[in-house]
Amino acid sequence: QVQLTESGGGSVQAGQSLRLSCAASIYAFTDYSMGWFRQAPGKEREGVASIDSGGGTTYLDSVKGRFTISKDSAGNTLYLQMDSLKPEDTAVYYCAADPSRWLGANALLPKEYKYWGQGTQVTVSS
């Protein structure tokens, strides 16, 4: 059974940083595509960043240059380093996993991911 547990959310001022972590209980973690998604109140869930089994990454345009996704295969942990945070980054952030090694152009689509965490709140004030 796959379990994903996010941590690291919180409240910060604009311009500050946060690092989100996702502890994954996944056999063959390195074979999975992993992603970070977010959902703000009244909005649809959107893909923020993804990383495939080979380490290839994809980012939402609005976070490019500010967010970095990475994974620690030895520790089965996914990370999202978020720098230069803006108020519009405020949302619940979710970790997701799919047993597909590579999702290509669909890497930021929520419907492509089979497993989800419970989410962690990120609030950025101006």
In this prediction, residue 40 has a pLDDT band, given cuts at 50, 70 and 90, of very high
Residue 109's pLDDT band (cuts 50, 70, 90): very high
Q: How many CB atoms lie within 10 A of CB 119?
A: 18
Q: Residue 6's CB: how many other CB atoms inside 10 A? A: 22
Query: How many contiguous H segments (helices) and E segments (strands) does the chain have?
Result: 0, 11
pLDDT of residue 73: 81
Neighbours of 125 (CB within 10 A): 11
What's the whole-number mean pLDDT along residues 89-94? Answer: 98
Grouping H, G, I as helix, E, B as strand and the rest as coil, residue 25 is strand
Indicate the pLDDT class of residue 17, thresholds 50, 70 and 90: very high
Which residue type does 20 have?
L
Contact criterion met (CB below 8 Å) for 87 and 125: yes
Q: Are 16 and 66 in contact (CB under 8 A)?
A: no
Where does residue 11 fall: left (phi above 0), alpha (psi -120 to 50 degrees), or beta otherwise?
beta
Q: And the tokens for 20?
A: 């989100």
Residues in CB range of 74: below 8 A, 6 or more apart: none
Average pLDDT over the chain reads: 96
For residue 38, pLDDT over 90 is answered with yes
